[in-house]
Structure 1
Amino acid sequence: MSRSPGARVRAATALLVVAVAAAGCGPSDPSAEAGSSTLVAYTGQSGDYQINFNPFAPTSIGGGGTIFQTLFFYNVLRDAEPTPRLGAEFAWNEDGTQLSITLRDGVTWSDGEEFTADDVVFTLDMIAKHQGMNSTGYAGRAEAVDDTHVVVRFDRASFLDGPSVLGRTYIVPEHEWKDIADPAVAVVEDPVGTGPYLLEEFKPQAFTFKANPTYWGGEPAVKRVRYLSLSGNQSGTAALGAGQIDWQTGPVPEVRDVGKNYPGYRAGITHANQIALVTCSSTALGCRGPQTDPAVRQAIYHAIDRAQTNALAFENTGSDISPGFLLPDRDGDLISDDLRNRTAPMRPDPTKAQQILEGAGYAKGPDGIYARNGEPVSLTLSTVAGWTDYITAVDAIGRQLRQVGIELTQQQVSWNEFVDSRDRGAFELIIDSLYQGPAPDPYYLYNYFFSTAQTAAVGAKPGPNAGRFSDPQVDQALDALKLLDPTDTAARQPHLDTIQTRIEQVMPYIPVLTQGTISVYHDAKFTGWPTDPDLYASPAVWAHPDNAEVLLRLRPTGK
């Protein structure tokens, strides 16, 4: 006899309440927490936190937007004017080689020091000097005209640098950061920022932000935000049932019945990030293993049963994914007519997968696994322990690949181990999502994940391009796009076509699904959440700086 999600939640609730109380995360009585202005959040963190509030470090656990602010906020979910934050206004010259920024006056750092244009110039210069921080290829030269005005000059048209400089560069205090030797990886334990929150307490099981009483925009109504570390997605679901969490992003059983299963809560689903099997793809950059062969990657692409994976792992919340990595809903008009598949097939084609392998010189051995030159197509795929949806997806994909003669072994690791192996290139396959850029334009995702400038040889830390993909055709198209006005769609389309068709051919990131990002929030305790039709920011608790925008809009109900 099957048990309902509610029964599973109740069975885990008692243990969860004890665990949360033992972690120093508040009262074990959910009603005591519900009457306060403390918001309890769960990002999906599995295992203990390791302190680091450096917004540029890959091991950062928070602070982007909440402690460290950008100049403006850009909403990647819709085409809207950027919202001023540390910046008041900005303007480009006619040829896109000079960006003039006016800063907000009267802002102070949380230690009482004055925020000035020198801090902005210092931050931009720091990014330019450290490749590990420069995820967008920023090549500007910043100058402080006076305390509230900055000019950034470029050698060529750089309109597309605007959202990255203005909307995704976290400004840090020069007086605190000037002596940090390697700011790309430095551990920041006592962050000093301009944002609406301060770090109040850190423990490996939870950390707490408190409202900044001197915040330039006024002290937030949400007085504390407590981020929990649990054992994984199942614990997060149990925490919802216990009333211990107010905001969570991650899989929830029977998500379309959240209001019935968790009274007082609501759920939202957004489709912005693409789930992919990231391959260490380039032998020239030091990658080793069967996945370095494009034929193997193409065979995996055709062997995946996306409909089955969506049902088993994601409650059918995933949606179509394009092999050219444009978002079908947002970017449908830009998807190239030259692609073999406008969107990846939802059902597998085992015959095609095997034909691709055999055409590349592979033969099936007595164990049913394809091999070439004595090397079997046997791969290890890493995922983060506790990420139950991805773990289930990998289990399903492993069975699907076995049917076409590809062996897949799942390896579950901690988050920090995952990041370390990804950055060193010490992997064959990992499952992860490709995120969008600072504005709703596909250029940014391409520049992050497919540009040679954003990768590095195995053993060295890359930018976002962990797949070690490097292709001159794609690089040339990206360079051409950067020189064009982003509103000139006719001039841009041939370059977008080149990128899409090339990455479909080579496939360093094997598309799985466009992720249905599930966020559950306590609507009875706080009002002001981003919902249709007013998605003023991403509702994902881990999205930054969006999460700060959400916290600033929320109001406790006192319930």
Structure 2
Amino acid sequence: QFTDVGLANGYATGSKNGHRAVVGSFEPLFYYSAFADEVIPWLATGAEYNDDFTQLTVTIREGVEWSDGMPFTANDVAFTFQMLKDNEPFLRDSTIIRDWVESVEVVDDLNLVINFFEPRPRFLFDKLYGKFDTGIWWVPQHVFQDVEEVQGFGFYDLEKGWPVVTGPFNVVAWTPQQQIIDRRDDWWASKTGFAELPEIERIIVIPVAGEERMSQMMINNEIDSSLDLRATTISQVVAQNPAVITHTEREAPYGYIDWWPTSFWFNHADGPFSDANVRWAVSLTVDREQMLDVALEGSGILTQLPFPYYAPLTPYIEATAPLLEQYNTNEHNLDKAAERMTAAGYEKDGEGFWVKDGERITFEIITFPQ
């Protein structure tokens, strides 16, 4: 079941809306196509830095409207920045905006100037381009200016027309069992001739079920797409339904190189993982080959870096080769792991657990809910 019913506000605590409706409902100032390496101006028509990258001028596209008919303007962008600064650290991107953005000046409805504390040449790409599920989500000032607690605001009330969005799709029904997203035929881009309406009229999203259930639904043509099936399962689905295609059509390996490699991230600020020796010890303990063979049935590749081996990144990957020879991030070596733990001041207790000052290591792992 969906556990975030009614949380259409992507900044609300517990919201997972960014992984479902954000692509069709919430639009960025610019899109970035990683495949074509192309920037596509969208809610904005342009952006220009000053000579030292401490100031960025953005021009908003004329004619953009929210789904309630109100115009989308530079004021909405400026308001969103201020909302993030005022609610730091509780909202997505809020700490970065607090630390990077000094102020935002609205010149007029279609122009604004972002002032940085220091040169920020990557800010445009990192935060104003929509790519994958990154980038800032803009909110309607005329709604959020009356919200006292942003992280507790669901932004879902169909009678009020919420959520208010700029995209070609919006939520029309939401239960623990499904989310229904319909095309908006009054989408601003269609009205102004900027873009054609999507051919899809309705999207129904259901909670992820077990692999057996999802694969059977694919075989029976009960769903159009599914996520996260193992290679063996996909081969069975393809064999039993001639209409099913994958990222490699109907032949193995079926998948693609994911843009976020499976990773285990540490909080370096406090506790045992503030010690690099402990972090290295954990890394040396992990048998990545075994994980690949067992968890992914061999249908993947190992990466020594925390980003995918995409062709445009090849020069940077090759540049790190000498460092990776010196620091083998994929090495599995229990003896070296023990040496690292000893260097960090730990020793094993009678049950084989590492302890320091008589205390075993305890920590919390945060991951995506299943």
TM-score by length of 1: 0.54
Contact 1:320/1:344 (8 A) holds in 2: no
Q: How far is 1:276 from its partner? A: 2.4
Q: Distance in 1 between matches of 2:72 and 2:203?
A: 25
Q: Distance in 2 between matches of 1:157 and 1:292?
A: 29
Look up the match of 2:344: 360
SS in 2 for 1:254: helix
Alpha carbons of structure 1 residues 94 and 83: separation in structure 2 relative to 1, 3 Å: same
Q: Which amino acid aligns with 1:245?
A: I
Contact 2:304/2:324 (8 A) holds in 1: no
Mapped pair 1:272 → 2:259:
yes
Equivalent of residue 223 in structure 1, options 177, 201, 218: 201
Q: Distance in 1 between matches of 2:175 and 2:343?
A: 55
Mapped pair 1:182 → 2:144:
no
Alpha carbons of structure 1 residues 53 and 147: separation in structure 2 relative to 1, 3 Å: same
Aligned-residue sequence identity (percent) comes to: 24
Q: How far is 1:118 from its partner? A: 1.7
Equivalent of residue 66 in structure 2, options 102, 109, 133: 109
Alpha carbons of structure 1 residues 380 and 61: separation in structure 2 relative to 1, 3 Å: closer
Q: How far is 1:158 from its partner? A: 1.9
Q: Which amino acid aligns with 1:102?
A: T
Mapped pair 1:192 → 2:147:
no
Per-residue CA deviations over 1:1-57 (Å, capped at 9, x if unaligned) read xxxxxxxxxxxxxxxxxxxxxxxxxxxxxxxxxxxxxxxxxxxxx654432111233
Q: Distance in 2 between matches of 1:93 and 1:380?
A: 44
Unaligned runs of 5+ in 1: 1-45, 387-559
Q: Distance in 1 between matches of 2:227 and 2:123?
A: 30
SS in 2 for 1:66: helix
Alpha carbons of structure 1 residues 255 and 72: separation in structure 2 relative to 1, 3 Å: farther
Q: Which amino acid aligns with 2:265?
A: V
Q: How far is 1:83 from its partner? A: 0.9
Contact 1:211/1:224 (8 A) holds in 2: yes
SS in 2 for 1:102: strand
Q: Which amino acid aligns with 2:206?
A: L
Look up the match of 2:111: 149
Per-residue CA deviations over 1:417-447 (Å, capped at 9, x if unaligned) read xxxxxxxxxxxxxxxxxxxxxxxxxxxxxxx
Look up the match of 2:132: none
Look up the match of 1:125: 82
User: Which shifted more, 214-223 or 358-367?
Assistant: 358-367
Q: Which amino acid aligns with 1:136?
A: I
Q: How far is 1:305 from its partner? A: 0.8
Mapped pair 1:82 → 2:67:
no
Contact 1:322/1:341 (8 A) holds in 2: no
Look up the match of 2:9: 54
Aligned pairs for 1:283-322 (under 5 A) are 283=270, 287=271, 291=273, 293-322=275-304
Q: Which amino acid aligns with 2:38?
A: E
Look up the match of 2:54: 97
Q: Distance in 1 between matches of 2:325 and 2:198?
A: 50
Q: How far is 1:351 from its partner? A: 1.5
Contact 1:371/1:377 (8 A) holds in 2: yes
SS in 1 for 2:171: strand
Q: Distance in 1 between matches of 2:71 and 2:342?
A: 66
Q: How far is 1:354 from its partner? A: 1.9
Contact 2:25/2:169 (8 A) holds in 1: yes
Q: Which amino acid aligns with 1:332?
A: I
Q: How far is 1:184 from its partner? A: 4.1
Q: How far is 1:359 from its partner? A: 3.5
Per-residue CA deviations over 1:234-274 (Å, capped at 9, x if unaligned) read 43333323322212221334267363354322222133113
Alpha carbons of structure 1 residues 260 and 379: separation in structure 2 relative to 1, 3 Å: same
- Relative contact order higher in (CA < 8 Å, ≥ 6 apart): 1
Q: Distance in 2 between matches of 1:53 and 1:377?
A: 38
Per-residue CA deviations over 1:265-324 (Å, capped at 9, x if unaligned) read 2222133113222344433xxx4xx5555433322211111001011112223333335x
SS in 2 for 1:83: strand
Q: Which amino acid aligns with 2:143?
A: E
Look up the match of 1:432: none
Q: How many residues align?
A: 333
Look up the match of 2:335: 351
Contact 1:71/1:84 (8 A) holds in 2: yes
Aligned pairs for 1:244-255 (under 5 A) are 244-254=222-232
TM-score by length of 2: 0.79
Contact 1:363/1:371 (8 A) holds in 2: yes
Per-residue CA deviations over 1:192-214 (Å, capped at 9, x if unaligned) read 01111111101111111100111
Unaligned runs of 5+ in 2: 130-134, 157-161, 191-196, 248-255
Alpha carbons of structure 1 residues 244 and 48: separation in structure 2 relative to 1, 3 Å: farther
Q: Distance in 2 between matches of 1:382 and 1:147?
A: 41
Q: Distance in 2 between matches of 1:115 and 1:61?
A: 24
Aligned pairs for 1:308-457 (under 5 A) are 308-322=290-304, 325-329=306-310, 330=313, 331-335=316-320, 337-339=322-324, 341=326, 344-345=329-330, 348-377=332-361, 381=365, 383=367, 386=370
Alpha carbons of structure 1 residues 319 and 57: separation in structure 2 relative to 1, 3 Å: farther
Look up the match of 2:186: 214
Alpha carbons of structure 1 residues 115 and 281: separation in structure 2 relative to 1, 3 Å: closer
Contact 1:120/1:171 (8 A) holds in 2: yes
More strand by share: 1
Contact 2:170/2:183 (8 A) holds in 1: yes
Look up the match of 2:219: 241
Q: Distance in 1 between matches of 2:232 and 2:355?
A: 41
Contact 1:65/1:170 (8 A) holds in 2: no
Q: Which amino acid aligns with 2:79?
A: F
Look up the match of 1:204: 176
Q: Distance in 2 between matches of 1:385 and 1:170?
A: 23
Q: Distance in 1 between matches of 2:309 and 2:268?
A: 25
Equivalent of residue 101 in structure 2, options 123, 139, 142: 139
Contact 1:322/1:344 (8 A) holds in 2: yes
Q: Distance in 1 between matches of 2:185 and 2:136?
A: 24
